[in-house]
Structure 1
């Protein structure tokens, strides 16, 4: 199992118990996202963790397919879906790069707290664009920690080099916006919560029709 999957597998039980750090910001992101959903919407999420966001959006969409590299995360997500009686979400163990090619299959693709963990963002963004229908939207919430304290940056790099932590790319908000635009998206919503512990950039970007 890859270091990322091992790390998130070990973390899954504690991750599932964690409370949302900024409930108001989270609810605003949910509301902004739902403005682009509808009863027939086909949604795909990668890096879904224990499925909280996928399950929050499921009542507002036609079907949600959500994947994560960590089997323990997916196990918890499936249990949560069963307990909530939500039947229009399919949780799978997987990585975006390993998914079957499905051009134009989705109205929305979501990636929350995951873009900064990817070794090949440009490849992932190209895959996302291909998966979306013309006019479909890509929704992301991403840590942009290039300006984080030096100790945090050192721990992130050293931990990954030693195989103890997943890759954590130290992004800037402007750099991420440029990457998404260069991948062929038009950014239609751009919001940064204020007062949080870490700088986060929430974007909704549209594939041209």
Structure 2
């Protein structure tokens, strides 16, 4: 993946200390995710960051393997440990430590706009799922034209910030891009929503077919 683990290692402590930017949208997302989980589900979270989401959802699943390719993020997550059915692992979606067909649910939140080989990543998610398994994801859609001048300026500034190590790789997808990528990767979309609505953070629940 193009985004540097070194960047995320460097911001991990600060990231862990930050409050959730939109608690209502976050809680709404967790509520929708929990409604799809079963007590027997083997869940994989990709890009778990400092582990808050995995720990919040653990009571609804059989087991949760929460992964991030930043060792700094995993260290922050492990400091929060105390839930027996959650395990943290430094890995990304392409890691050989993750076995094909071994998960009932794969989750990824606020991750795939930071991944350059995104089509290959979504294909790999499909492989990781057991037949009929669920892919639950949410991504900021920073490419929506309705976002106006502010986000247009951000799009121009990010490459400059990347040159000095102040920003990771960022992709500017639209809602239509995400939905099309989902079906193209071999999924049937079951539910979508935007939490929050602006800028749209697009939520998708899809079944592997």
Give the TM-score taking structure 2 as reference length.
0.91
Structure 1 equivalent of residue 84 of structure 2: 87
Deviations 1:163-206 (CA, angstroms, capped at 9, x unpaired): 5422100111101110111101011110013554x321011111
Q: How far apart are the structure 2 equivalents of 1:207 and 1:57?
A: 21
Are residues 1:13 and 2:13 paired? yes
Structure 1 equivalent of residue 152 of structure 2: 150
Matches within 5 A, 1:180-191: 180-191=182-193
Matches within 5 A, 1:32-71: 32-71=32-71
Q: How far apart are the structure 2 equivalents of 1:186 and 1:3?
A: 28
Q: How far apart are the structure 1 equivalents of 2:118 and 2:102?
A: 21
Q: How far apart are the structure 2 equivalents of 1:3 and 1:192?
A: 25
Are residues 1:205 and 2:176 paired? no
Q: How far apart are the structure 1 equivalents of 2:138 and 2:155?
A: 20
| Equivalences, count | 203
Q: Tell me the CA shift for residue 78 of structure 1.
A: 0.8
User: Is the 1:3–1:164 contact (alpha carbons within 8 Å) kept by the matching residues of 2?
Assistant: no
Are residues 1:141 and 2:138 paired? yes
Q: How far apart are the structure 2 equivalents of 1:62 and 1:71?
A: 25
User: Is the 1:64–1:88 contact (alpha carbons within 8 Å) kept by the matching residues of 2?
Assistant: yes
Q: CA RMSD in A?
A: 1.6
Picking from 107, 110, 113, the partner of 2:110 is 113
Structure 2 equivalent of residue 159 of structure 1: 161
Deviations 1:26-68 (CA, angstroms, capped at 9, x unpaired): 1111111111111111000111100010111111111111111
User: Is the 2:45–2:106 contact (alpha carbons within 8 Å) kept by the matching residues of 1?
Assistant: yes
For 1:49, what is the secondary structure of its paired residue? coil
User: Is the 1:116–1:142 contact (alpha carbons within 8 Å) kept by the matching residues of 2?
Assistant: yes
Q: Tell me the CA shift for residue 161 of structure 1.
A: 4.7
For 2:107, what is the secondary structure of its paired residue? strand
Gaps of 5+ in 2: none
Q: Tell me the CA shift for residue 150 of structure 1.
A: 2.1
Structure 2 equivalent of residue 172 of structure 1: 174
Gaps of 5+ in 1: none
